């Protein structure tokens, strides 16, 4: 392995989309990985079970099925430490669902994160926390790149508000207890294992099955779509780079893609045409995301390599492999 000693790593949400890819890398590198995941019903838990199926028999892997808000579970988890690095990815995710149940988002994301921070601070002096934040904290913007120094005090959804609050919680833990923290603001991650509620996955599924797609607004909104392997490389660098103190760092591709162009890319990869239904722009959505990644390049050596269309092709290939297999008649 590339490091001098085996690290003991905790990944919360490590059975999910991004987390399971990170675990793949950590196990391949030789680190010991513990995952905390509650396998909730936000989407079919069998998806997460599939994500971790290759991990379960690995000697350096263990999983705890539990909730961030369960103090007893957290105490037992940290009794197996100390952890050299904690990567905190567990959260109630999604802008639109947060509009329907804001109290749940605050309970899980804010209270759960606070309880986790308390355990980290109590357990060891040298743990590094890498926190998975979101570009949604920037709110409604247009025309310019999002800088880590920009104001983030006007979130457009409870989910965005919870992530902004999490960053403040992390800073308080750094200030009061000296915890080293890297808050990584992810910009619209996509790729194999992507959650089924996210746009690229939903659109691919609908186009493949000749169903209609709801396009909210005029289709000219833009997202800084970032391939999951590039995000994982950014997380990995934050886990071991020469960082100290508290840092906020964007992880994006810095090349926004128009929504209609995203749909066209999926059409080309599938070889099928989309059926679009235009609907009014939704509350909570932002029209534009565009990451400045100079800080990530400087501090992490971050260099996203996957072009958008190439990432779409990889996603479509994965999607096709997930289709139910049919048995030919005898």
255 C-beta neighbours (distance < 10 Å), count = 14
Buried-exposed string 18-56: b where 16+ CB fall within 10 A, e elsewhere: bbbbbbbbbbebebbbbbbbbbeebbeeebbeebbeebe
Cα angle 147, 93, 194; round to 5: 90
Residue at 171 is within a domain: yes
What's 198's DSSP letter? Answer: S
Highest mean pLDDT range out of 37-46, 123-132, 247-256?
247-256
Rounded to 5 degrees, φ, ψ at 326 are -100, 145
- Local structure of 238: helix, strand or coil: helix
Characterise 219 by phi-psi region: left (phi > 0), alpha (psi -120 to 50), beta (else).
left
Question: Comparing 101 with 141, which gets the higher pLDDT?
Answer: 101
- Reply yes or no on whether the pLDDT at 195 is more than 60: yes
Residue at 99 is within a domain: yes
pLDDT over 70 percentage in the chain: 95
Residue at 152 is within a domain: yes
Number of domains in the chain: 1
Place of tokens 């207890």: 177
Alpha-carbon gap, residue 299 to 160, rounded angstroms: 25
* 287: preceding bond cis by omega (within 30 degrees): no
Q: Label the pairing between strands 257-258 and 222-223.
A: antiparallel
Give the pLDDT score at 323. 66
In the beta sheet, which residues pair with residue 11? 35, 87
- Local structure of 269: helix, strand or coil: helix
Encoding tokens for residue 203?
């659109």
Residue at 324 is within a domain: no
Alpha-carbon gap, residue 178 to 176, rounded angstroms: 6
Residue of 61, 159, 246, 302 with catalytic role: 159
Residue at 270 is within a domain: no
Cα angle 241, 253, 136; round to 5: 90
Residue at 200 is within a domain: no
Q: Which CATH number covers residue 119?
A: 3.40.50.720
**pTM of the entire structure?**
0.93
Could you confirm whether 43 is annotated as catalytic? no
Residue at 169 is within a domain: yes
317 C-beta neighbours (distance < 10 Å), count = 11
pLDDT band at 328, cuts 50/70/90? very low
> What is the tens place of the pLDDT at every residue in 6-52?
899 999 999 999 999 999 999 999 999 999 999 988 878 888 999 99
Residue at 162 is within a domain: yes
> What is the tens place of the pLDDT at every residue in 156-194?
999 999 999 999 999 999 999 999 999 999 999 999 999
Give the pLDDT score at 143. 67
CA atoms within 13 A on the CB side of 151: 4
pLDDT over 90 percentage in the chain: 78
pLDDT average, residue stretch 288-315: 96
Q: Please, what is the average pLDDT of the chain?
A: 91
What's 42's DSSP letter? Answer: T
pLDDT band at 330, cuts 50/70/90? very low
- Reply yes or no on whether the pLDDT at 306 is more than 70: yes
Characterise 234 by phi-psi region: left (phi > 0), alpha (psi -120 to 50), beta (else).
alpha
Specify whether the CB–CB gap between 132 and 87 falls below 8 A. Answer: yes
Range of the domain at 229: 8-190+225-253+289-305
Give the pLDDT score at 216. 84
Give the pLDDT score at 67. 95
């Amino acid at each position: 392995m590339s490091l001098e000693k085996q690290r003991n790593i905790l990944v919360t949400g490590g059975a999910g989309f991004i987390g399971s890819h990170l675990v793949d890398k950590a196990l391949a590198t030789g680190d010991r990985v513990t995952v905390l995941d509650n396998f909730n019903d936000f989407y079919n838990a069998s998806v997460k079970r599939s994500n971790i199926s290759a991990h379960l028999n690995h000697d350096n892997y263990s999983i705890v099925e539990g909730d961030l808000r369960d103090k007893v579970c957290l105490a037992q988890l940290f009794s197996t430490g100390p952890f050299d690095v904690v990567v905190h990815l567990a959260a109630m995710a999604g802008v639109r669902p947060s509009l329907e149940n804001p109290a749940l988002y605050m309970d899980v994301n804010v209270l759960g994160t606070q309880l986790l921070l308390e355990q980290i601070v109590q357990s060891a002096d040298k743990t590094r926390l890498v926190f998975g934040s979101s570009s949604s904290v920037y709110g409604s913007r247009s025309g310019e790149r999002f800088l880590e120094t920009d104001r983030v005090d006007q979130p457009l959804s409870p989910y965005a508000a919870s992530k902004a609050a999490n960053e403040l919680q992390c800073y308080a833990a750094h200030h009061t207890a000296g915890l080293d923290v890297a808050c990584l603001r992810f910009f619209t991650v996509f790729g194999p294992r992507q959650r089924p509620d996210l746009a690229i996955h939903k659109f691919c599924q609908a186009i493949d099955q000749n169903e209609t797609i709801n396009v909210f607004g005029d289709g000219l909104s833009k997202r800084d779509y970032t391939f999951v392997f590039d995000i994982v490389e950014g997380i990995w660098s934050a886990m071991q780079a020469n960082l100290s103190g508290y840092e906020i760092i964007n992880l994006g591709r810095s090349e926004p893609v128009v929504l209609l162009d995203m749909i066209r890319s999926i059409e080309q990869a599938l070889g099928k045409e989309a059926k679009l239904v235009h609907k009014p722009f939704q509350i909570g959505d932002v029209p534009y995301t565009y990451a400045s990644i100079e800080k990530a390049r400087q501090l992490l050596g971050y260099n996203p390599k996957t072009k958008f269309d190439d990432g779409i092709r990889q996603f479509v290939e994965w999607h096709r492999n997930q289709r139910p297999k049919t048995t030919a008649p005898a």
